[in-house]
Chain A
Amino acid sequence: MSDTVRDAPTGSPSSNGLEDPGARSGATRGRASAIVGRTRDAFAATPIWAALVGIVGIGWVVVTLDGGTFFASGNLTNILQRSVALGIVAVGQTVAILAGSLDLSVSYLISLASLVGAETMDGRESMLVPAILLTLAVGAAVGLANGLVVTKLRVNPFIATLGMALILRGYIENNYDRPTGSVPESWESFGYTRMGPIPVSIFLFAGVALIVGTTLRRTRFGYHVYAVGGDEQVSVLSGLRTHRVVIAAHVICSVCAALTGLFLASRLGSGTPRVGTDGGYDLESIAAVVLGGTALAGGRGRVAGTVGAVLVLAVLDNVFNQLELDPFLKQAVRGVVIIAAVAVYAQRRKGRQQVATGTAAA
């Protein structure tokens, strides 16, 4: 499928060969322009950023007409702060979807991670790092289980992760019935500290997005993820250990979910059994991923797109908040936005395919 090759990390869709545009022209200047080039490609390949600018614009107009101030620093903080939790888990979900899979168990894993993390921390600074490591390990274990069920038992990821969600839910309900544990000062302040209007936690989100995004586009493993998601049979025939790739993708997804749980624990001061489900992170993260331009079938898309989509959703939320609109209306609008965006992406793809294969629209 031509799309797999096109979206593989070898340059922008319009470049001719495998050359990195800036690699030849002298060390520092070359690298700087390479970075600029890559960033530009990232934005060009993810139209969601253009939509983000558009929505910010519309939002500003609407809010100002309503008598509010859109660009108040409190607002900026609100938008960024609200992006962190969904953002981290959506980045993980991107990897799972790119590999041709999907993870519906993330909300319960987030709740569990917050509980395990806060309980282990128990308010003590000394337990902070062990708690984080333990929680991430739990996340990795769940991801491993998901990956194994999907690959070895050949269970459709929808069902596999739905089953895992139920298992996690049963475990949580059986063992926890109230906010549990407590986070030490330093971790709690992580959720609240701001540099001006910018919350410190946004750097966690940015960091995760950068690491995962770079892994996907700059490493062989990342290339394999695209290949397996794009066409599993071809990948198998090309000698890829597809099972390992899918399992690793699930592990990354679940570790991101666990990280989100830890972050939420810092915001809430403790872990709670409902924090994951209250946020609706399972369907929200999938929505963010497809809104960002990643194909649900796998093999196409970028973390940059997901990041843009998360910001779009946060801005929409914020605008609705400012206008004090009914949250039910917001939900309906969200549904329309998601369908419309994916329809637009699909039409663009169809258009590009027809251009590529020389068939004009009928």
Chain B
Amino acid sequence: MTDATLTPPTGPTPAGDVVEAPPRPSLAARAWRSVARSAPIFAVLAVLLVWIAVENPNFTEPPGFLAFLKRAAPLAVLAAGQYFVIVTGEFDLSVGSLVTVTVVVAAQVLADNPDSTLPVIALVLLIGVAVGIVNGLITTRLQVPSFITTLGMLLILDGAVFYWTDGAPKGSLTEDFRTLGRGGVDDVPGLEQLPWSVVVFLAVGVGAVLLMRANLGKQFMAVGDNDRAAGLSGVPVARVRTIAFVLSGGLAAVAGILLGGFAGVSAQVGDGLEFQAITAVVLGGVVLGGGRGSVVAAIAGALTLEALFTLLNLLGVSGALEDTVEGVIIIAAVAFAAFRLRSDR
């Protein structure tokens, strides 16, 4: 489709006048349109944030906004991990239980070894990576659909960790360990405190963007879009998919560290997080089935979800109605994305 207004027609027009090009839209309008076209989620997020600020003026100040980011960081990290899996065309339902495992295992080990914060962090990250490798191998080598693999893994992880602790988490997370989720860098000019979880969140975000720009990122996209074609053009499909699961598992462990730090030991810290993560990614316009969507949009989806919860809380919407609203919004968001997908092709 060529833009007919760029070149005025040669020769006289039927009306005999020279056609003038229409006035170019303003910079602001063009910026808004490009944002809205790329991923409407940013527009929605902006609207929600403004609305929250209206209801709660504290929100406009750095501590208020940072507190929101601190709270949203775990879900944002989970969404980034889930994004990699979804963009390669798979699901990872095991991330919620992996978060629970992270918190419970860390608490148990720290109870007997309170000074080994770093080794424990390394341990839980290793567990996350290992689970990711297993998920990846089962899905790629044994040809089990990832929905089933990760569903089975969810049952196994939940069952195993509670069997190990006899149904109740033991031990507790040390202050040191909880710094990442709860503490921050003090005396930062301009802000009172920069929470560590925000730092981690930004690091993950930047890392994810860089990853998607790199070769591996392009391979993720290719595998998700058409794995047969990707395989034929030399992309090691099985390995790429497994790497996606490893990233998801590792980031789930990071989210567990942040959540455990934020809220302490709890038996149900990971409940339902996998569905929230998938919802966040989908809200960001990433298509289930793979091959499309940006990781920044996925993270924005997570922030939007948190903003939505915060807003509904502020407005005093009762808990029950919150669920219904969430359900309608999720369906609407995906329908919207699906519609755009079809109209783009």
Contact B152 A166 (CB under 8 A): no
Question: Which of B153, B324, B335 lies in contact with A154, CB distance below 8 A?
Answer: B335
Q: What are 18 A-to-B residue pairs whose CB atoms are below 8 Å?
A: A154-B335, A155-B335, A158-B278, A158-B288, A159-B282, A162-B279, A163-B330, A165-B327, A166-B330, A167-B328, A169-B320, A174-B321, A328-B160, A332-B155, A332-B158, A332-B160, A335-B156, A335-B159
Question: Does the CB pair A342–B331 fall under 8 Å?
Answer: no
**Minimum C-beta distance from A73 to chain B (A):** 31
Q: Number of A residues contacting the other chain (C-beta, 8 Å)?
A: 46
A145–chain B nearest beta-carbon distance, Å: 10
Assembly CA distance A77 to B318 (angstroms): 44
Interface residues in A264-286 by Cβ distance below 8 A to B read 283, 286
A8 and B148 CA atoms in complex are apart in Å by 24
Query: A170 touching B335 by the CB < 8 A rule?
Result: no
Q: List residues 117-167 of chain B with CB under 8 A from any CB of chain A.
A: 138, 142-145, 147-149, 151-156, 158-160, 162-163, 167
B residues in contact with A160, CB < 8 Å: 331, 334
| Chain B nearest CB, measured from A250 CB (Å) | 14
Contacts between the two chains (Cβ within 8 Å), count = 145
Within the complex, the shortest CB–CB distance from B69 to chain A, in Å, comes to 25
B interface: dominant SS: helix
CB distance from B11 to the nearest CB of A (A): 46
Taken residue by residue from 333 to 345, chain B's Cβ proximity to chain A (1 for < 8 Å, 0 otherwise) reads as 0110011001000
List of 9 A-B pairs having minimum Cβ-Cβ separation, nearest first: A170-B324, A166-B327, A332-B159, A335-B155, A331-B159, A170-B323, A173-B320, A346-B143, A335-B156
Question: Does A296 belong to the interface (CB within 8 Å)?
Answer: yes
Q: Which residues on the A side are within 8 Å of B331 (C-beta)?
A: 149, 153, 155, 159-160, 163-164
Contacts A154-B338, A170-B327, A342-B144 given: A159-B159 contact, CB under 8 Å? Answer: no
B263 to chain A, nearest CB (A): 23
| Number of chain B residues close to chain A: CB under 8 A | 46
B324:A338 contact, CB within 8 angstroms:
no
Provide the bound-state CA to CA distance between A167 and B327, in Å: 5
Chain A: CB-nearest residue to B342: A154
Chain B residues in 8 Å Cβ range of A159? 278-279, 282, 288, 330-331, 334
The answer on a CB contact under 8 Å between B142 and A334 is: no
Tell yes or no: B55 within 8 A of A by CB. no
Asked if A171 CB lies within 8 Å of chain B CBs, one says yes
Contact in complex: A156, B143 (CB < 8 Å): no
